[in-house]
Structure 1
């Protein structure tokens, strides 16, 4: 699922800019060989082109996996399972040190959308404070992005404390060790988890990312080129253009409005408007929506103050 979604959501030109490494563990040789056969059969073209690379984690790569210390009140089976997971990730990261500028960790049973790569690049560019880890999913160890030059540090951390902590806990430690002040999660997130059958035996979990939202706009209008002005104070990086521009991921999210606040769309060229549509609200935040307001259509901007259109000639609308 993950491979299909990533490949189908990446343009041909962008496929030349990314490299997908799939790691399989030979602790279960039968399963590893099945995965190898499936990848080579279903994604043969992409394997030959170099977009997809399949590597095996040998049995010799694993430290002792029996009589492990029990932490977090986990039973022996769970401690062993998450210890294997830590070594899997450690091996994969060590393999990819300095092979690219950035590295993002995904799991199986994950899907994304067609705007994921541009959204990742935009979030990196817009994040001005120091970071060691950016997050594009709120779940576990999905969608965590690092600089590839730091992967040896993370790989060593995962391997050193493989039995003591789950991988997502170790990533919080890594972030603090790197003196990153806070977690930096992009909302809406870019990767959604779908599977319910855990790799831990006899465990099913229906876990999904509540912050995930598709890049595809619910209203696909023909939005002319325009400048957006508002007196509303945006929340983090969720600027007004996110909602207006069809080729941009995300939405506009503002702090609580006050009487008199405005949001103005100023077309760069005159337009003949027949109708418009406005959508507000987020399914996880039922109260974050427009309760009331006035729509006005203007023909001439008189002046600008900061980011806000101060005065303009208007005709009342609905």
Structure 2
């Protein structure tokens, strides 16, 4: 470790910790449970205690605690993805999951860690850590007077999973002699059908006919994609900011890998601003965007067209300088489409300076 990560050790980014021997109880006198041999019970009990020690050590160092292991690989930009997912949580939660396997990629609020660890320590020799976590959630949110389905709904409300998984376990040999771990997270290799961003608060509306539960608000919040049946000429999607905000950049991605043809065609991005923009400025914006006469002529009244979706179904760019704060960003369809449309990614970056 010193040879490979000397600078990280010196800066304090990487710490190596070892519990005192007195931290552990007698691990040679444990009750065998669930048909596990003594060695396995000893191994999983020590593992539970190690988890508890790490969590208590890390608790005061940050706002959140994430449990990882040294034999995992991670998706590119995983840290920003995790930050965005946390920021999108409007309701209270206990655990966020970024991997489906075991106790990998589990995030807790540091303010909750002490209570979680107390539960783990109370039953450290009884069950593996992921089973104990299941029991803790049941204790926290389930009512004995309600049925199983109600309990499952309550647990799902505080245990939230990000898909696709950000971490994959690649280790095969366990620290338990003879134990081979071949399980893989099947969601890790999947390309995302949507991508989440921490977008500013907005009132959303559309004239498009939404399919099932693939709602506009859900893609804006990064929960899933928006899906609508055949767009018609004049259909719009509005993102209204109250109060108006200063926006730097935007990105709207339509279609996804399962339905690559469900993209916006002949569709523009328009903005409504708080300041009156002189015509010469508007003409310059339109010229830089390369918009044609029809797209300009069909623009919504009091809106400035600034971009169009390309052949791949993507519209992105910077808000032009000198237009003031933005009241509304509008997606404006200019001709009927024979295909449905998916909006799989929305990113609106506010300048808060």
2:22 aligned with 1:52? no
Alignment of 1:81-92 (within 5 A): 81-92=43-54
Which residue number corresponds to residue 74 of structure 1? 36
Higher relative contact order (CA 8 A, sep 6+): 2
Alpha-carbon separation, structure 1, partners of 2:229 and 2:187: 29
Q: Deviations over 1:208-242 (max 9, x none)?
A: 2122258899xxxxxxxxx9976354379862797
8 Å contact kept, 1:107–1:142: yes
Q: 1:313 aligns with which of 317, 325, 334?
A: 334
Q: 2:214 aligns with which of 211, 234, 246?
A: 234
TM-score, reference length from structure 2: 0.58
Which residue number corresponds to residue 204 of structure 1? 180
Which residue number corresponds to residue 12 of structure 1? none
8 Å contact kept, 2:120–2:132: yes
Q: 2:109 aligns with which of 128, 137, 147?
A: 147
* Structure index of larger Rg: 2
Residues 196 and 278 (structure 1), Cα distance of their counterparts in 2 relative to 1, 3 Å cut:
farther
Residues 184 and 93 (structure 1), Cα distance of their counterparts in 2 relative to 1, 3 Å cut:
same
Return the structure number with greater strand share. 2
Which residue number corresponds to residue 190 of structure 1? 166
2:146 aligned with 1:172? no
8 Å contact kept, 2:168–2:185: yes
Alignment of 1:152-301 (within 5 A): 152-179=114-141, 181-182=155-156, 183-213=159-189, 231-232=210-211, 233-234=213-214, 239=219, 253=225, 259-260=229-230, 280-281=256-257, 289-290=258-259, 296-298=265-267, 299=295, 300-301=298-299
- Length, aligned pairs only: 243
Q: Deviations over 1:189-212 (max 9, x none)?
A: 211111111122112122221222
Alpha-carbon separation, structure 2, partners of 1:162 and 1:50: 30
**Secondary structure in 1 aligned to 2:41?**
helix
Which residue number corresponds to residue 40 of structure 1? 2
The CA deviation at 1:93 is: 1.4
Which residue number corresponds to residue 131 of structure 1? 93
Residues 41 and 264 (structure 1), Cα distance of their counterparts in 2 relative to 1, 3 Å cut:
farther
Alpha-carbon separation, structure 2, partners of 1:107 and 1:175: 23
Structure 1: gaps spanning 5 or more residues:
1-38, 218-226, 243-250, 269-276, 282-288
The CA deviation at 1:62 is: 0.9
TM-score, reference length from structure 1: 0.63
8 Å contact kept, 2:72–2:167: yes
